[in-house]
């Protein structure tokens, strides 16, 4: 399966600032996704990162708050904008190689907002 | 949209016993059901998945069963070992390989010596 790397692995940020999380896959993948996992909770899909076009956001998530880029088939970024303590969470990137291949996850970015 | 319920939220078993985790889903269009294991501070890792054209799938000590009519699927772990201790998540999706996964709430499995 593809190896998925995320940077940074963790960060502590001040409220009102923004942070961009990077996701790099070691092979071309058809689909990339961004999830949020709040402490002790399940995973919630934020959006599907579409290559060369705007991301598809799930209910409750908006582009102004979570802008996403996907310039090619191996890389995507998620920005968490104007952060507040409620944004403290783990943000996970996942990717799927197409066909009937399953989704695999990166190690996640643990974000704390002060 | 899809809604996935998972039970129990915590499960404690003795080493060597079996563990069963159950999930139900709401969308009859869902046709792909993966299970992920997440150890503390680690990424979710796929341990087994099943598609709706199959009723059961087994991989060594792990098996998954699917009842499409009742819209539920279960994870079975036999001969549990301490390294099986983790949080297990079920998920459901439509579109074969899982275009959009909806996750259950998770089960904290503890295998005691």
3-class state of residue A68 by DSSP: strand
pLDDT for A4 equals 96
Chain B residues in contact with A93 (beta carbon < 8 A): none
Mean pLDDT within B55-67: 96
Cα–Cα distance between B106 and A106 in angstroms, integer? 19
Average pLDDT, chain B: 94
Could you say which of B36, B44, B97 has the minimum Cβ distance to residue A100? B97
Question: With b meaning 16 or more CB within 10 Å and e meaning fewer, what string describes A45-81?
Answer: bbbbbebeeebebbeebeeebbbbebeebbebbbebb
Mutate to test the interface with B, among A31, A32, A33, A43 (most CBs of B within 10 A): A43
Report how far Cα B15 is from the mean position of its chain's Cα atoms.
19
Check pLDDT > 50 for residue A63: yes
Residue environment code for B16-41, b if the CB has 16+ CB neighbours within 10 A, otherwise e: eeebbbbbbbeeeebbbbbbbbbeee
| B29 and A CB contact within 8 Å | no
* HEC sequence for chain B: CCCEEEECCEEEEECCCCEEEEEEECCCCCCEEEEEEECCCCCCEEEEEEECCCCEEEECCEEEEEECCCCEEEEEECCCCHHHCEEEEEEEECCCCCCCCEECCCEEEEEEC
* pLDDT above 70 for B96: no
Nearest-Cα residue of chain B relative to residue A41 = B105
- Nearest chain B residue to A93 by CA distance is B43
Assess contact for A64 and A112: CB atoms under 8 A: no
Rounded-to-integer distance, Cα A88 and Cα A39, Å: 8
Tell me: the pLDDT tens digits for B19-33? 999 999 999 999 999
The answer, yes or no, to whether residue B81 has pLDDT greater than 70, is yes
Confidence (pLDDT) at A99 = 73
Tokens of A80: 């968490």
Q: pLDDT at residue A107 above 80?
A: yes
pLDDT at B95: 61
What is the average per-residue pLDDT within B23-44? 95
- How far apart are the C-alpha atoms of B109 and A26, rounded to whole Å? 32
Contact of B61 with B33, CB cutoff 8 Å: no
Mutate to test the interface with A, among B43, B45, B88 (most CBs of A within 10 A): B43
């Amino acid at each position: 399966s593809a190896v998925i790397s995320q940077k940074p692995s963790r960060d502590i940020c001040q409220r009102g600032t923004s942070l961009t999380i990077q996701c790099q896959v070691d092979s071309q993948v058809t689909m990339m996704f961004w999830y949020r996992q709040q402490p002790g909770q399940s995973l919630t899909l934020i959006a599907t990162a579409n290559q060369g076009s705007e991301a598809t956001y799930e209910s409750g998530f908006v582009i102004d708050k979570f802008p996403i880029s996907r310039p090619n088939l191996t890389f995507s970024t998620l920005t968490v904008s104007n952060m507040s303590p409620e944004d403290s969470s783990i943000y996970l990137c996942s990717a799927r190689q197409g066909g009937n291949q399953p989704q695999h996850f990166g190690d996640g970015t643990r974000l704390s907002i002060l | 949209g899809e809604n996935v319920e998972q039970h129990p939220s915590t499960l404690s078993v003795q080493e060597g016993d079996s563990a069963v985790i159950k999930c139900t889903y709401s969308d009859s269009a869902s046709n792909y059901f993966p299970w992920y294991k997440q150890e503390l501070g680690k990424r979710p890792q796929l341990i087994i998945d099943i598609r709706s054209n199959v009723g059961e799938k087994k991989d060594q000590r792990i098996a998954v069963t699917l009842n499409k009519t009742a819209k539920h699927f279960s994870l079975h772990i036999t001969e549990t070992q301490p390294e099986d201790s983790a949080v297990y998540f079920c998920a459901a999706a439509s579109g074969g390989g899982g275009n959009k996964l909806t996750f259950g709430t998770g089960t904290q499995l503890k295998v005691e010596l």
